[in-house]
Amino acid sequence: MWIMKSKAYYFFAAYPVLFAAGAVQIGKWLENHPKWNYAVAAVLFFPAIPFIPEATPILPIETYVEYMDKQENEEGRIELTGDYADMFGWQEQAALVDSVYQSLLTEYDPKEIMIWAENYGEAGTIKILGDKYGLPDPVSRHGSFWLWGYGDSNAEVWISLGNEKGSVEQVFEEVELVKIITHKYAIGEENGIPLYLCRKPKVDIEQWWQDYESHVFD
């Protein structure tokens, strides 16, 4: 890998084969001394125990933070590994979208309201966690969600989740910031995301959607 200047993970696919081959050879060495198997297992397993909570999210978050001696940064956030951080913030997003959606139902018919999520994570949140609130399916131009389309181009109001101000102002004349969603433990890209109410499209929605096709996996 060093000679070829390749990425370390290029070799990952070979590891299972090497592990299997090594296990067979070790098994042959120990077949006449079965009790040594326990010693080998102990040597391999016990040194790894302290690192398991960092590699796999098995501890409650408060316990993990204390175990790893994580400290809050200047913004009051705690930086976690991706496996942990990706579990947080989604419920709050779905709950806020529902709160805004329900408030709009006093003025608009459900068919006049669209939920527009910036990326597939936020769209998936509304699609999956939104079921318990009875939220409609979102639209998103990110990933395979783009294939599902833009919904109703004549909708009166759009709830924008995660899209930055510049993005929504390119599409709508009226843009109102409702809240910036923050979470102490959420992964960086899902912290501090804006939720806007948008009205009066100033572009052709269908054309705007189609023009983004080459960027859906950016």
Regarding whether 115 and 44 lie in a shared domain, the answer is: no
Residue 210 lies in a domain: yes
Range(s) of the domain holding residue 182: 90-215
∠ CA 16-17-20 to the nearest 5 degrees?
85
Regarding whether 190 and 117 lie in a shared domain, the answer is: yes
Residue 184 lies in a domain: yes
Residue 57 lies in a domain: yes
Residue 1 lies in a domain: no
Regarding whether 195 and 135 lie in a shared domain, the answer is: yes
At 3 the pLDDT is 62
If you ran DSSP here, which 8-state letter would residue 136 be given?
A: P
Q: How far apart are CA 110 and CA 107, in angstroms?
A: 10
Regarding whether 115 and 32 lie in a shared domain, the answer is: no
Which range, of 9-23, 113-127, 142-156, averages the lowest pLDDT?
Answer: 9-23
Which range, of 12-26, 134-148, 150-164, averages the lowest pLDDT?
Answer: 12-26
- pLDDT for 178 beyond 90: yes
Tell me the pLDDT tens digit for each residue of 117-144.
Answer: 999 999 999 999 999 999 999 999 999 9
What percentage of residues in the chain have a pLDDT greater than 70? 96
Tell me the pLDDT tens digit for each residue of 25-77.
Answer: 888 887 877 777 788 788 888 898 888 888 888 899 999 999 999 999 988 89
Q: How far apart are CA 25 and CA 97, in angstroms?
A: 57
- What contacts 159, CB < 8 A, 6 or more positions away? 97, 100, 101, 104, 113, 114, 115, 116, 195, 196, 197, 198
At 192 the pLDDT is 94
- In the numeric block, which tokens belong to residue 67? 């175990």
Q: How many domains does the chain have?
A: 2
Query: 177 by DSSP, 3-state: which?
Result: strand
Q: How far apart are CA 50 and CA 193, in angstroms?
A: 35
2 band by pLDDT with thresholds 50, 70 and 90? low
Picking from 49, 80, 111, the residue at the C-terminal end of a domain is 80
Picking from 24, 56, 80, the residue at the C-terminal end of a domain is 80
Residue 111 lies in a domain: yes
Regarding whether 127 and 75 lie in a shared domain, the answer is: no
Regarding whether 193 and 143 lie in a shared domain, the answer is: yes
Per this entry, what is the length of the chain?
Answer: 218
Picking from 80, 114, 137, the residue at the C-terminal end of a domain is 80
